[in-house]
Amino acid sequence: MTLTDTNQPATKGGATKSVFVDGASGTTGLGIQERLRLIGDVAVKHIAEDKRKDPAAKRALMEEVDLVILCLPDDAARETVAVIDTMGDAAPKVLDASTAYRVAPDWAYGFPELAPDQADKIRTMPKVSNPGCYPTGAIALLRPIVDAGLLPQDYPVTVNAVSGFSGGGKSMIASFEDGSAPAFELYGLGFEHKHVPEMQLYSHLTRRPIFIPSVGNFRQGMLVSVPVQLDALPGKPTGADLQAALAKHYAGSKYVKAMPLQNEASKSGRLEPEALNETNQLELYVFASDKHRQAVLVARLDNLGKGASGAAVQNMRLMLGLADS
């Protein structure tokens, strides 16, 4: 027997949809499985432990499910997709959480709030790439104001971000949990971070942004910030103009919310990263100074929620034609 079920039995094409989470022992895979367990309306198929590295058993399992969610390193994800591409009519849909296909033209990008037609693309495409955590925040901030003409496509954008250590993989998690990691550190200072290509492409930027990520000594949660010199923008917009563009773009969104403008009158000057942990929510802020004509755009999200597992489950439901949970 190569399969075990965690939920109710299901067959491919049956009333109950079925999925296989490939790479289910990592942080994202575990988060997806926990969310699916709580929802309970999708059958999660597993391969037996002694068959995990058996290509024939894995292929047989993929032929039985409606969707495969890949939580694998890039090369392993490519290998699995290559197998799926040979399966013809038996091929399941595939949702990839690696960076392997995030800028591939024949894949849908799994940020449903990106554009008015993006959710429909995710519903209809057989292959969807789950976004990176940092790009989710950056693109959510930048795309609406670029599309509105408030920020030029060639603006020299800088994206700063801080994440909890849970997004850094097993070795980073272990170093923070055993106390050997520093309290805070910048990284990605070689200007080759793997999230930059999708950040640039889906923000509609023609100039490559500078991206400076960092990690702090807290498990999960994330802030992504973009500073802006308002007088350097065409039309010299106000912070209110930027906030209005965000509010218009995300009006009616269940998971993404443009927060009220934060200016001198708001007397606000702090934002912590953990408030949205264990949710699929994304909050977008504009902090602006009319006096100094400067603004900082900030996205707050759970790097394991809307930045990973929560987004994957949201995309999965669209791909399977299921109602939003």
Q: Which two tokens stand for residue 35?
A: 């969310």
- DSSP at 244: H
290-314: string of b/e by CB count within 10 Å (b at 16+)?
Answer: eeebbbbbbbbbbbbbbbbbbbbbb
Single out the catalytic residue among 70, 81, 114, 133: 133
Strand stretches in 195-275, DSSP E: 210-216, 222-229, 256-258
Which DSSP string corresponds to 125-144? Answer: -SEEEPPPHHHHHHHHHHHH
Phi, psi for residue 97 in degrees, rounded to 5: -95, 0
Q: What is the rounded distance in angstroms from the CA atom of residue 237 to the CA atom of residue 118?
A: 28
Q: What is the rounded distance in angstroms from the CA atom of residue 140 to the CA atom of residue 202?
A: 9
* Annotated catalytic residue 133: yes
Which residue in 56, 63, 67, 60 sits closest to 312, CA to CA? Answer: 67
| 212 close to 185: Cβ distance less than 8 angstroms | no
Cα separations (Å) of 43 from 11, 52, 65, 153? 9, 19, 9, 44
- Catalytically annotated residues: 133
